[in-house]
Amino acid sequence: MDNQEVAAVLDEMANLMELNGENPFRSRAYAAAARAIETMEESIVDLSARGALDEVRGIGKKIAVEIDELLSGGVIQRHQDLIATVPEGLIEMQGIPGLGGKRLRQVHELLGVADIDALAKACASGAVAELKGFGAKTASNILNGIAYIQQHQGRYLANVAQKEADLLRDYLKDRPEVIRLALTGSLRRRRETTKDVDIVVSSGDPESLGRAFAECPYVKEVTGHGQTKVSVILKSGMAADLRIVSDEQFPYAIHHFTGSKEHNTLMRSRAKARGMKMNEYGL
């Protein structure tokens, strides 16, 4: 496991503790440990092997023992116990903007809300607004947050996707098969969210490059592997596509795969009106 994976487990433990109404100092300790691991340069595996985890600021002895447990066995028993005590619907609702663990626990305990649909109904009926410390504005904000989640389900915030994209770019950029490389898609268009990472690379050896991408340490599963496109699921759960083209095709491929679909349709129409043909391979 890498630093990001370990940090994600500790972060979820902190959230579950908050949902469970445990001592807030405990949940903050796990959140602080997660932040420390996310930002440190040294490998968590190397620190564990040296027995030096508790020397890192933000990682106490108990959390260090649990990290060792995670690295050696793949799970932390305390994490599994927390998951078992919190209704699954509450875990899903953690991602709703404007609804922290404390308020989520309130609506669950006082209104019996256990999933997103029930929360939406409670907001619409006025039940949430009547709770102490909430009010109509908070209920409205929660409804807006639910709408956002439903609209962007399966999408990732740009800063989250950018971290994954940077890892893949750093892995690929110095490989001998790579001539030029560019991130494309929603990230290149600076959209707030994206469903995946899109990379275009020019290469004289697409077979070797495609194989190297499929074997990347950040890849969990290869979902498609052709001569010019390799699709994967990353360990983070995000999808990523690598498009491999010749160096002559590279500028046109960047334009096409950056999009958007509407932009490409308009550009093809303009080219056609001038007696030309435009696609991802050239003009």
Task: Give the CATH class of 1-86.
Answer: mainly alpha
pLDDT at residue number 207: 95
- Residue-wise pLDDT tens digits, 193-240: 888 999 999 999 999 999 999 999 999 999 989 889 999 999 888 899
CATH number for region 88-153:
1.10.150.20
End-to-end CA distance of the chain: 45
Name the CA dihedral angle for 89, 90, 95, 99, rounded to a multiple of 10 degrees.
Answer: 140
Query: Residues 6 or more apart from 30 whose CB is under 8 A from it?
Result: 10, 11, 13, 14, 17, 63
Query: Residues 6 or more apart from 246 whose CB is under 8 A from it?
Result: 202, 203, 204
pLDDT above 80 (res 187): yes
Q: Identify the H or E element spanning 194.
A: strand 193-194
pTM surpassing 0.85?
Answer: no
Are the CB atoms for 30 and 6 separated by under 8 Å? no
CATH topology of domain 157-273: Beta Polymerase; domain 2 (3.30.460)
What residue spans in the chain does CATH classification 1.10.150.110 cover? 1-86
pLDDT above 70 (res 152): no
What residue spans in the chain does CATH classification 3.30.460.10 cover? 157-273
- Residue-wise pLDDT tens digits, 103-149: 888 899 899 998 888 999 999 999 999 999 899 998 998 988 888 77
221 DSSP β-pair partners: 233
